[in-house]
Structure 1
Amino acid sequence: MTFKNLNIISPILVALEHQGYLTPTPIQEQAIPFIQQGRDLIGCAQTGTGKTAAFTIPILQHLSERAPKKAKAIRSLILTPTRELAIQISDNITCYGKNLKLKHTPIFGGVSQVNQVKALRTGTDILIATPGRLMDLMQQGHVDLSQIEIFVLDEADRMLDMGFVRDVQKIVAKLPPARQTLFFSATMPASIKKLADSMLRNPATVTVTPVSSTAQSINQHVYFVEKNDKNKLLSQILSDAAISRSLIFTRTKHGADKLVKQLIKEGIFAAAIHGNKSQNARQKALNGFKINKLRVLVATDIAARGIDIDELPHVINFDLPNIPETYVHRIGRTGRGGNTGTALSFCGSEEKADLKSIEKLIGFKLPVSLQTIV
């Protein structure tokens, strides 16, 4: 199976080939035909399997093949929970749609709205938005959703985790009833299924891997280590020069900043990315990490689904998440695109219940590392 077999139009095929994409992933292979048919769809696959391309490619094709009913109208809305994801989706659309005459605009909070409003006034075909900023601009009269043809709710479960469900419902109420709706998520808890049932019409369902599973390309281990010894263990692990680049997750923003200070003291180039950082600071840190100027990026869970980096070899859970699905999203930053990866988790006495919940979700016990602190 190749993208040519999916009846993708030539301008998009050329763009995909330029990126080195010839063979669709399972979620793309199964979801794209349903979307091309105009079906509502629930797509569930583990993170890192290509969900973004599964909906952006057919959206680009649909919009390019049909003339807009109204000039400068927003024809597709992609709703996503974080700024990082909005930027990532926008970058993907830029790549896949570079040979098409379609405009797209990402809008998100944490930065001035001036340039975003300017882009909306000139017209955009595809709007990629976070709920808060979209609600603000709608209330100010800058956004008209009456011409939406395709609506995408990306990372639907994360939307619920972050408390966006009411905003999502208010936004959906402004969409035209005659639309195509697509739900994509790495996990599909009952609460999200209920939300989907209220918004979708006879949807097709595509589930390409067991819900909440972790990729087989990720080598996972857990270290039993007390809270006060975690810093020593991390230093010991990072003393291995073979660990070239690591994404480290902490539970709190304060914990992330504190850990970065320690790493810098030890001569390790590191930066933190979390909700208290400005958008410019977050992008600077992320870009530095992508080009290997930084060896370590320390993040809170706001970044768990917004970081898409080729060949990221290591993810380290300095703190275990208290929501087991979050573990799947965190470690899904590695082992992507056919590469292998390593996920290491530190578990203190007070986190053993969290570990048990994670193991129940993923369906197996994490191998225990017997490495000792020296």
Structure 2
Amino acid sequence: MKLPAASSPFAELGLSAALVRAASQRGYVAPTPIQSAAIPLALEGRDIVGCAQTGSGKTAAFALPLLQALDTWRPAWRRTYALVLVPTRELAAQVGETIRALAVHLADPVKVAVVFGGVSVNPQMMGLRGGAEVVVATPGRLLDLVERNAVKLDDVNLLVLDEADRLLDEGFAEELARLTALLPPRRQSLFFSATFPPAVQQLADGLLHDPVRVEMPATPGDEPPAIEQHAVEVDTAQRTPLLRHMIEQGQWPRVLVFVATRYASEHVADKLRRAGLAAAAFHGDLSQGARTRVLAELNSGALRVVLATDMAARGLHIPGLPVVVNYDLPRSPTDYTHRIGRTGRAGATGLAVSFVTAASEAHFRLIEKRQGQRVPRERVAGFEPGEAALPASPPEGGIKGRRKSKKDKLREAAAAGKA
């Protein structure tokens, strides 16, 4: 039996019946912690700094109050009420799709324009003709459109920065400063981020007025919930055969594999295809159409394996993705968190596997230290690393009283890059 809108947990947050109905149709059973905390504050018109892990429901946390405010603000002509800035094309498309879906039952239709670089600007200019109440954009392309007089920002009442830390990591600081200078000084601003380094805090201090900080218990150093982590020791040259073996033996239906470079994504994908696995590369040099097609085929199951560079680490939502593999380790512990966060989303369980070589062992130990958790080391029969390739991992607390031989010391020095 379908619950009436009034009895929905989303209705208790102060949302309208139309939005509660849309949330239910999107499969939202109950608000996530970030939604429960942020939505009532946003409906009150407060500025918010929201810090929560990827996959925690941040998009709906700003999309629902955005639409409710917009539904009560209906000028005779179409003007841009809300601006949502994001770091990547994929995230822009996904945020736009979510906002459109949640607006479906509002009394008046909402025009949502999604604009990003890497594709022709002309169709996006046509899409903005006549105005759009909500604009979801990457900063560089939005500035281009502003300079072409395709969009005006002087009526924006609500600014949202999604993945604020990634916006700064991607070098958008100058573009953000130019864009925010075009906005009305009196507006509501919502910042959402998985991590909150000093640069993001400085940005928030300059743009937000008396903000409320909403920080979820799962802080950036913690292990993402419902993700089982494993580290597999392997020689560098054996990683591709091992990857193929684990995909086949584990009967993984879909897997996202992170590599360090565009060349590696193409090279490993080609080797897996030659071995009979449906695999494709995913990197920044692909056209937007090609990237969209790869993700659609992974979602549908037409592709079994996608080899991605770190440009895919954030912003991608791949429903029900069961496995993430770190073929190459990420550059930072923060990137590790975002990579493995592609699985185990929305309450589902996930598996994260990292390949650890002799050269990367010291770096993986740093990742473990930053997340405050040791990840079990494993070896796969037939793919064990060569003798003495990796230093033995002692039990917690070490082996008391054991004297280190000269060979032991040489191994440790090699692992730390000192040999």
Same fold (TM over 0.5): yes
Q: Does 1:108 align with 2:126?
A: no
Tell me the equivalent position of 2:93: 87
Q: How far 1:226 moved relative to its partner?
A: 2.7
- Deviation by residue 1:334-372 (Cα, 9 ceiling, x = unmatched): 001211000001122332343133223211111212324
- Deviation by residue 1:88-141 (Cα, 9 ceiling, x = unmatched): 101111211111221101001111111211111121000000111111111222
Alignment partner of 1:196 out of 204, 209, 215: 204
For the residue of structure 2 that corresponds to 1:262, the secondary structure is helix
Q: Does 1:306 align with 2:312?
A: no
For the residue of structure 2 that corresponds to 1:321, the secondary structure is coil
The answer as to whether partners of 1:137 and 1:143 remain within 8 angstroms in 2 is: yes
How many residues were matched structurally?
373
Distance 2:91 2:221 in 1: 20
Tell me the equivalent position of 2:82: 76
The gaps in structure 2 that reach 5 residues or longer are 1-7, 384-419
What TM-score do the two structures reach when normalised by structure 2? 0.86
The answer as to whether partners of 1:39 and 1:204 remain within 8 angstroms in 2 is: yes
Question: What letter is aligned with 1:105?
Answer: A
Distance 1:166 1:349 in 2: 40
Q: Does 1:319 align with 2:325?
A: no
Q: How far 1:229 moved relative to its partner?
A: 1.8
Map 1:281-296 onto structure 2 (within 5 A): 281-296=290-305
The gaps in structure 1 that reach 5 residues or longer are none
For the residue of structure 2 that corresponds to 1:197, the secondary structure is helix
Tell me the equivalent position of 2:388: none
Question: What letter is aligned with 2:317?
Answer: D
The answer as to whether partners of 1:221 and 1:367 remain within 8 angstroms in 2 is: yes
Distance 1:296 1:306 in 2: 18
- Deviation by residue 1:49-100 (Cα, 9 ceiling, x = unmatched): 10011001100111011223x7221111000000000001011112111112
Tell me the equivalent position of 2:4: none
Change beyond 3 A, Cα 1:25–1:310? same
Distance 1:131 1:122 in 2: 21
Q: Does 1:11 align with 2:13?
A: no
Tell me the equivalent position of 1:135: 143
Q: How far 1:264 moved relative to its partner?
A: 0.3
Distance 1:7 1:159 in 2: 31
Q: How far 1:191 moved relative to its partner?
A: 1.9
Distance 1:65 1:353 in 2: 56
Larger RCO: 1 or 2 (CA < 8 Å, sep 6+): 1
Tell me the equivalent position of 2:414: none
What TM-score do the two structures reach when normalised by structure 1? 0.97
The answer as to whether partners of 2:100 and 2:110 remain within 8 angstroms in 1 is: no
The answer as to whether partners of 1:109 and 1:130 remain within 8 angstroms in 2 is: yes
Question: What letter is aligned with 1:74?
Answer: T
- Aligned-pair identity in percent equals 42
Which is greater in Rg? 2
Q: Does 1:354 align with 2:360?
A: no
Distance 2:344 2:44 in 1: 32
- Deviation by residue 1:296-335 (Cα, 9 ceiling, x = unmatched): 1111111112321221100001111112111111111100
For the residue of structure 2 that corresponds to 1:338, the secondary structure is coil
Map 1:128-167 onto structure 2 (within 5 A): 128-167=136-175
The answer as to whether partners of 1:223 and 1:347 remain within 8 angstroms in 2 is: yes
Distance 2:104 2:150 in 1: 26
Tell me the equivalent position of 1:26: 33
Alignment partner of 1:340 out of 340, 349, 352: 349
For the residue of structure 2 that corresponds to 1:42, the secondary structure is strand
Q: How far 1:242 moved relative to its partner?
A: 2.1
Change beyond 3 A, Cα 1:340–1:187? same
Alignment partner of 1:222 out of 214, 217, 231: 231
Change beyond 3 A, Cα 1:15–1:194? same
